[in-house]
Amino acid sequence: MIELPKIILASASPRRVEILTSVGWPFEKLPADIDESEIAGEGPEDYVTRLAREKALAVASIRPNEIVLGADTTVVVDGEILGKPVDVEDAKRMLRTLSGRSHFVLTGVAAAFNGKVESALEKTRVDFVPMNEDEITFLAERGEPLDKAGAYAVQAQAALFIKGIEGDYWNVVGLPIGLVYRLVMSSSVARGREVRSSSNQN
C-alpha cells in the first residue's frame, strides 16, 4: 500500500495547494521568504531550480525533521523569462509576447529533509493561437494573470486561446505532481526519512 508522507509546502501558491489537495497528499503550508532576484548570466532552468532549492532549504532550516517541498515556475520565450506581471499593462505586454507563439513553462521542484536536498526540473511546451488586442485586454483585465508567471492561467480564460500543450499539463497549472511524487518517494530524502523512522522505533 502506498502511503504519501506528509510534506511542508514552502509556497503560498493557491494552485499548488489545490493540486496537492486534489491527489490527497497530506501537507502543511509554510511559505518561504527568499530573494527571488535573478543572478547575472543565470539560465531559466538554473534559475527555477535554484529558487526551488532555496525555498525548500529555507523552510527546512526551521523544520529539519520533516520533508519540505519547494517549487518555482516561470515562463520562457526565446530565452526571456516572463515572471509575474507587476500590473495590467505588464500583463498585456506579456500576453502580446505569447500571442501566436510557442513558449515553455519551467518548474523547478526540490525536496529537503534533515539538511539534504534533491531537485528536478519539468519543462512543458505551450502553443497560443494569435490573439487580437480585445482578447489580450479581456485576459489582462479579468485579474486572473496578476499572480501568475506569464500572465495567464491555463485552467481559466486563457484556455480559450491555447492551441496545444506538449508535456505535463499540471506543470503549466503550477506543480508537476507526478515529478514531485517520483522525487519525494524515490530520492535519498525519502530513504533518509525511512531510516530515521526505523531508528526512532528501535
Structural domains for the chain:
7-201 (3.90.950.10)
pLDDT at 35: 87
Confidence band, pLDDT 50/70/90 cuts, at residue 1:
confident
Q: Enumerate the active-site residues.
A: 72
In this structure, are residues 71 and 51 in contact, taking their beta carbons and an 8 Å threshold? no
In sequence order, the 6+-apart residues with CB closer than 8 A to the CB of 1 are none
- Rg of the chain on CA atoms, in Å: 18
The alpha helices in 61-127, defined as continuous H runs, are 88-98
pLDDT per residue as tens digits for the range 27-85: 999 999 998 888 888 899 999 999 999 999 999 999 988 999 999 999 999 988 998 89
d(CA 37, CA 62): 23
DSSP of 101-115: SEEEEEEEEEEEETT
Query: Whole-model pTM above 0.85?
Result: yes
Confidence band, pLDDT 50/70/90 cuts, at residue 124:
very high
In this structure, are residues 145 and 98 in contact, taking their beta carbons and an 8 Å threshold? no
pLDDT at 127: 98
